[in-house]
């Protein structure tokens, strides 16, 4: 469903993403791993259609990432969750849903459903200013889900969540892909990546170092099958 072809991006002449290609099928959770500054946020921002690649192309079905229709089919939660302090959670979610042309009736139904899933029912009518970090993350997640995107893109979605919220989020994401949707996310929490992702990519200095399921990564590195993802990650990125 998603075809990423040789994309690159530089900032002021410094390369942040360097010729990355991959494909993502329907019903798959795909994890992006890499050390600080590896290019994960830049890569995900391009896939979300927010940043234009200098080179290469990104297609979802037959839609190019520059097209307005593409943006209606993807949902993005950034790691720098900056949502408006002086709106309530509900106002913020409705505002973002309106930008995506979600009919008001559907907005109301989906907001109630998602608020229940993420235990935010009693908070949605309070100002975002009063929310904790985890509540802000959940609000951003709900707002990215109201239009039921085919592709959900999450940049560091698990930092700041307590163990209960983490479980709710993992359960929701696992269920979300059973409906034929796909998820791509970046994380530094290797244990979650190992458990949730069918496929992984390790990037370093903007380049793809390895891709595949955990067993393929172990085979590529000729590692023993008892090796964990932390060791694989360390081998690939500590140079």
Which residue, among 60, 62, 68, 54, has the nearest Cα to 20 in the 3D structure? 54
Which residue, among 34, 25, 28, has the nearest Cα to 4 in the 3D structure? 25
Residue 38 or 209 with smaller CB distance to ligand ATP: 38
User: Could you count the other beta carbons within 10 Å of the beta carbon of residue 1?
Assistant: 17
Rounded to a whole number of angstroms, the minimum distance from the CB of residue 159 to ligand ATP is 10
Residue 11 or 95 with smaller CB distance to ligand ATP: 11
136 counts as binding ligand ATP under rule CB under 6 A? no
Rounded to a whole number of angstroms, the minimum distance from the CB of residue 206 to ligand ATP is 7
16 counts as binding ligand ATP under rule CB under 6 A? yes
The C-alpha angle with vertex 128 and arms to 124 and 133, in degrees rounded to 5, equals 100
Residue 32 or 120 with smaller CB distance to ligand ATP: 32
Residues in the chain: 239
Rounded to a whole number of angstroms, the minimum distance from the CB of residue 192 to ligand ATP is 15
Residue 88 or 186 with smaller CB distance to ligand ATP: 186
Q: Which residues contact 80 (CB under 8 A, 6 or more apart)?
A: none
Residues 30-59 that bind ligand ATP (CB under 6 A): 34, 36-42
Question: How far apart, in Å, are the Cα atoms of 103 and each of 113, 135, 151?
Answer: 16, 25, 20
Cα–Cα distance measured from residue 215 to residue 201, given in angstroms and rounded to the nearest whole number: 13
Rounded to a whole number of angstroms, the minimum distance from the CB of residue 10 to ligand ATP is 9
Residue 16 or 146 with smaller CB distance to ligand ATP: 16
In which residue are the tokens 């969750």 written?
Answer: 81
Query: Which residues contribute to the site for ligand ATP (CB under 6 A)?
Result: 11, 16, 34, 36-42
């Amino acid at each position: 469903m998603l075809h990423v072809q040789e994309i690159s991006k530089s900032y002021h002449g410094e390369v942040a993403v360097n010729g990355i290609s991959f494909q993502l099928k329907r019903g798959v959770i795909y994890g992006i791993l890499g050390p600080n500054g590896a290019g994960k946020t830049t890569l995900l921002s391009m896939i979300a259609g927010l940043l234009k690649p200098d080179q290469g192309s990104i297609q979802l079905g037959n839609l190019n990432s520059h097209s307005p229709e593409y943006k209606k089919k993807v949902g993005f939660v950034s790691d720098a969750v900056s949502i408006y302090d002086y709106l309530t959670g509900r106002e913020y979610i409705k505002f973002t849903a309106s930008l995506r042309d979600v009919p008001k009736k559907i907005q109301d139904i989906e907001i109630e459903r998602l608020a229940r899933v993420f235990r935010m029912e009693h908070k949605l009518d309070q100002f975002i200013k009063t929310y904790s970090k985890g509540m802000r993350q959940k609000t951003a997640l709900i707002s990215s889900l109201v239009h039921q995107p085919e592709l959900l893109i999450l940049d560091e979605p698990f930092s700041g969540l307590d163990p209960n919220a983490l479980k709710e989020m993992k359960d929701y994401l696992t269920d979300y892909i059973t409906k034929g949707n796909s998820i791509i996310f970046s994380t530094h929490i290797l244990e979650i990546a190992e458990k949730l992702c069918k496929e992984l990519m390790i990037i370093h200095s903007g380049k793809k170092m390895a891709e595949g399921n955990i067993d393929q990564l172990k085979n590529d590195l000729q590692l023993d099958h008892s090796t964990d993802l932390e060791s694989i990650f360390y081998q690939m990125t500590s140079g």
